[in-house]
Chains A and B, each alone.
Chain A
């Protein structure tokens, strides 16, 4: 909007030639023209500062405070402790919160890799399948969206029942019906618990991924695929050289948000496994909430949150570097 205004003004100023007076007039005129847009975005900016930036600064300040059971009531009045909280989290090998942080970080990386890979991969597969003319396509599409509209709490509670080793349907299928395994595995604690949080997350994520990919697939002109087919490209080469390059921007955006969303996952492990999901399924967010609010180690919790935020900023920068061209193409 601003660019168009500038160009219009520039064109209008052109006949009178360059000079101080017209330039000044142009600046004033620009201000007049841009006043309305600035006024229109002012409320949004104000609220963003209030609900985003200020709490973020607050969190940063708290991460530099010795805020624990004995001082947390004083909040911002608690004693300064410099970077001690960061030092404890990152380097103090003797501290149990450091060990918990390292475990939760590792778990979060594993959880994010699996969740995002499976969600996007399966979402794409389902979209490709539903993009073909199949009977009952609309009904299928609607049914596929069901997991996405189930609230997290309900979804996690349902899966908690389904994972139960004695009466859960997962073990009924694996052991009683298909005999894939002999003994009923335990899912909600121990080494399998990571899968107990990955699978429901993927189950819930697939519909949105599918919907976005499907929209992209339907926008691909039929002639392109026909031309590729005439040139002898089979389905795989059509996908690799025509379809995927065209939906790459959609993939890129979903990857960005998928990684951020998965890294900040909280509800699924918390609802299914309680405040401490254990060493195999504890994620960074469950650790942050537990240390900050259950254990009142607010300073350490704020430092862990800040480190997570820095991690996400690094991810966004890396993502931008990798997919800049796609964004430009999409524009």
Chain B
């Protein structure tokens, strides 16, 4: 059932003499392809259909869009890959790609896309890989990174220069202290800082940039052992928790998830917060009623600060597209993947979603929109992702739980470098148990 054309591209040495080429694939007309996407925006299916309408007109390929919620997509994609029943292409979170690649059931795109590596920033391309295995298991689709959101009016009231307010973690802390001295911003009406704890699925994305900037790592270089209990990590996480212990961080945000905390910034309760690019995209949207005017009109963006290592990092993630091995329409699927990788299409979709495109040139283009987008672009250049191993999802869960416990302890009073170390040692043990899995 798989067209000879595709076998020529993917099948390896045995298929060298098969007919067809990638160029011919793009000129083939007709056919159908089904893609599964996640709720990427307010109206995900309609937005995507609009995006691919020109592709359908041009190629005659009929694109069917299916939607899977984020709460079920992981199990759904796993089942589709193992049973061979499902769409032709699926969206997957960048940190999920190694798990699915290890699981099997997906096409190795090396022969088709291997030479496209240069089109993407290194941190983005890494998300298509599985450690210890050759292969390109996905095409980057859109990118997100975390940056600091701050209230320009509050910084002004505190007499701070946004240019120097977040250069390193010490100045970050001094900035929060200065904000705490502005009337009303000591926790009575608003808080200097707020960030969700263990209830947020992405807590880890906010802690690791700090650990990386202190010189720590999530795992050792060959991904065989957890290093989350290193001295650097202990120091970094202690610094983070100390913000809570010192009353600079609204403790109530620990009971909220990511979206609820985002709304705390939008409703004017937080002066500083770490978030993704989608919040910036919601600033001009008048239908987003979570914003109060004084917050909406005074949003500033800064890249995450540098740490004692002298370097600054942010988590770079987003979503990739993977092609199922069971697909009967691999030619059409590859044509659609190529279309979605074009700069103009990338820019159009990134604009709809409020994310960043994944190709370098499209990212550069988006950075020219305004100074906040430029700041996000700068943040992405510090982008780093996690070890591309199959067990990462479970390890991330374990880390998240222990980070959450540490932050909770910082509010309860039982907080010190020793308590942080002991919790991180427990996290490392759990991660090492997960790393020790074998066949």
A residues near B (Cβ < 8 Å) are 66, 68-71, 73, 79, 94-97, 163-167, 186-191, 273-276, 278-279, 290, 293-297
B397 touches A70 (CB 8 A): no
Nearest CB on A from B33, distance (A): 25
A95 touches B408 (CB 8 A): no
B251 touches A165 (CB 8 A): yes
Q: Does B2 contact A (CB under 8 A)?
A: no
A276-B198 contact, Cβ under 8 Å, with A69-B99, A69-B102, A189-B404: yes
In the complex, what residue of chain B is closest to A290 when comparing beta carbons?
A: B397
A278 touches B401 (CB 8 A): yes
A186 touches B255 (CB 8 A): yes
Give Cα distance in the complex from A182 to B193, angstroms: 24
SS class, residues of chain A in contact with chain B? loop
Give Cα distance in the complex from A188 to B200, angstroms: 13
Give Cα distance in the complex from A96 to B198, angstroms: 19
A165-B252 contact, Cβ under 8 Å, with A70-B390, A95-B433: yes
7 A-B residue pairings within 8 Å (CB atoms): A71-B439, A96-B429, A96-B433, A163-B255, A187-B255, A278-B408, A297-B394
**Residue of B400, B408, B409 ringed by the most chain A CB atoms within 10 A:** B408
Give Cα distance in the complex from A190 to B415, angstroms: 13
In the complex, what residue of chain B is closest to A279 when comparing beta carbons?
A: B405
Please name 15 further chain A to chain B contacts, defined as beta carbons within 8 Å, in addition to the given A69-B99, A165-B255, A189-B199, sorted by A numbering.
A66-B439, A68-B438, A69-B102, A70-B390, A70-B437, A70-B439, A73-B103, A96-B429, A166-B250, A186-B412, A189-B408, A275-B397, A276-B397, A278-B401, A278-B408
Q: Does B316 contact A (CB under 8 A)?
A: no
**Residue of B81, B201, B394, B411 ringed by the most chain A CB atoms within 10 A:** B394
A70-B102 contact, Cβ under 8 Å, with A276-B198, A276-B401, A278-B401: yes
Nearest CB on B from A66, distance (A): 8
Which residues of chain B have C-beta atoms less than 8 A from A295's C-beta?
393-394, 397-398, 434
Give Cα distance in the complex from A66 to B394, angstroms: 17
Nearest CB on B from A137, distance (A): 40
A69 touches B390 (CB 8 A): yes
Chain B 198-216: CB-based contact to A (< 8 A → 1; otherwise 0): 1101000000000000000
Give Cα distance in the complex from A177 to B391, angstroms: 49
A70 touches B438 (CB 8 A): yes
Which residues of chain A have C-beta atoms less than 8 A from B439's C-beta?
66, 70-71, 79
Give Cα distance in the complex from A331 to B75, angstroms: 47
Q: Does B140 contact A (CB under 8 A)?
A: no
In the complex, what residue of chain A is closest to B426 when comparing beta carbons?
A: A96
Which residues of chain A have C-beta atoms less than 8 A from B78's C-beta?
73
B430 touches A96 (CB 8 A): yes
Q: Does B159 contact A (CB under 8 A)?
A: no
B412 touches A278 (CB 8 A): no
A294 touches B393 (CB 8 A): yes
Q: Does B305 contact A (CB under 8 A)?
A: no
Nearest CB on A from B50, distance (A): 33
B residues near A (Cβ < 8 Å) are 75, 78, 81-82, 99, 102-105, 197-199, 201, 250-252, 254-255, 257, 390-391, 393-394, 397-398, 400-401, 404-405, 408-409, 411-412, 426, 429-430, 433-434, 437-439
Nearest CB on B from A246, distance (A): 46
B437 touches A69 (CB 8 A): yes
Which residues of chain A have C-beta atoms less than 8 A from B105's C-beta?
73
Nearest CB on A from B316, distance (A): 23
Of all A-B residue pairs in the complex, the 5 with the closest CB atoms, nearest first, are A166-B252, A96-B430, A295-B394, A68-B437, A276-B401
B252 touches A190 (CB 8 A): no
Which residues of chain B have C-beta atoms less than 8 A from A187's C-beta?
255
Give Cα distance in the complex from A297 to B436, angstroms: 12
From B104, B394, B409, give the contact of A296 (CB < 8 A).
B394
Which residues of chain A have C-beta atoms less than 8 A from B429's C-beta?
94, 96
B198 touches A189 (CB 8 A): yes
A69 touches B394 (CB 8 A): yes
Give Cα distance in the complex from A201 to B398, angstroms: 27
Give Cα distance in the complex from A166 to B254, angstroms: 11
A189 touches B255 (CB 8 A): yes
A294-B82 contact, Cβ under 8 Å, with A68-B437, A189-B404, A278-B408: no
A188 touches B255 (CB 8 A): yes
B104 touches A73 (CB 8 A): yes
In the complex, what residue of chain A is closest to B427 when comparing beta carbons?
A: A96
A164-B199 contact, Cβ under 8 Å, with A190-B412, A294-B393: no
Nearest CB on B from A239, distance (A): 42
**Residue of A79, A167, A186 ringed by the most chain B CB atoms within 10 A:** A186
A274 touches B251 (CB 8 A): no
B199 touches A274 (CB 8 A): yes
Which residues of chain B have C-beta atoms less than 8 A from A297's C-beta?
394, 437
Which residues of chain A have C-beta atoms less than 8 A from B81's C-beta?
73
In the complex, what residue of chain B is closest to A278 when comparing beta carbons?
A: B405
Which residues of chain A have C-beta atoms less than 8 A from B437's C-beta?
68-70, 297
In the complex, what residue of chain A is closest to B395 when comparing beta carbons?
A: A295
Give Cα distance in the complex from A15 to B433, angstroms: 76
Nearest CB on A from B431, distance (A): 9
From B254, B390, B397, give the contact of A294 (CB < 8 A).
B397
Nearest CB on A from B394, distance (A): 4
B397 touches A190 (CB 8 A): no
Which residues of chain A have C-beta atoms less than 8 A from B255's C-beta?
163-166, 186-189
In the complex, what residue of chain B is closest to A184 when comparing beta carbons?
A: B252
Which residues of chain B have C-beta atoms less than 8 A from A71's C-beta?
439
A294 touches B251 (CB 8 A): no
Which residues of chain B have C-beta atoms less than 8 A from A279's C-beta?
405
In the complex, what residue of chain A is closest to B390 when comparing beta carbons?
A: A69
Give Cα distance in the complex from A190 to B255, angstroms: 11
Which residues of chain A have C-beta atoms less than 8 A from B103's C-beta?
73
In the complex, what residue of chain A is closest to B400 when comparing beta carbons?
A: A276
Give Cα distance in the complex from A97 to B401, angstroms: 13
A73 touches B82 (CB 8 A): yes
In the complex, what residue of chain B is closest to A94 when comparing beta carbons?
A: B429
From A190, A274, A275, give the contact of B408 (CB < 8 A).
A190
Which residues of chain B have C-beta atoms less than 8 A from A167's C-beta?
252
A69-B391 contact, Cβ under 8 Å, with A96-B429, A189-B198, A276-B397: yes
Which residues of chain A have C-beta atoms less than 8 A from B433's C-beta?
95-97
From B102, B104, B198, give the contact of A278 (CB < 8 A).
B198
Nearest CB on A from B171, distance (A): 28
A189 touches B197 (CB 8 A): yes
Which residues of chain B have C-beta atoms less than 8 A from A66's C-beta?
439
Give Cα distance in the complex from A290 to B430, angstroms: 14
Which residues of chain B have C-beta atoms less than 8 A from A97's C-beta?
433
In the complex, what residue of chain A is closest to B431 when comparing beta carbons?
A: A96
Give Cα distance in the complex from A73 to B103, angstroms: 7
Nearest CB on B from A111, distance (A): 19
In the complex, what residue of chain B is closest to A276 when comparing beta carbons?
A: B401
Which residues of chain A have C-beta atoms less than 8 A from B426's C-beta?
96
Nearest CB on A from B393, distance (A): 7
Give Cα distance in the complex from A315 to B344, angstroms: 65
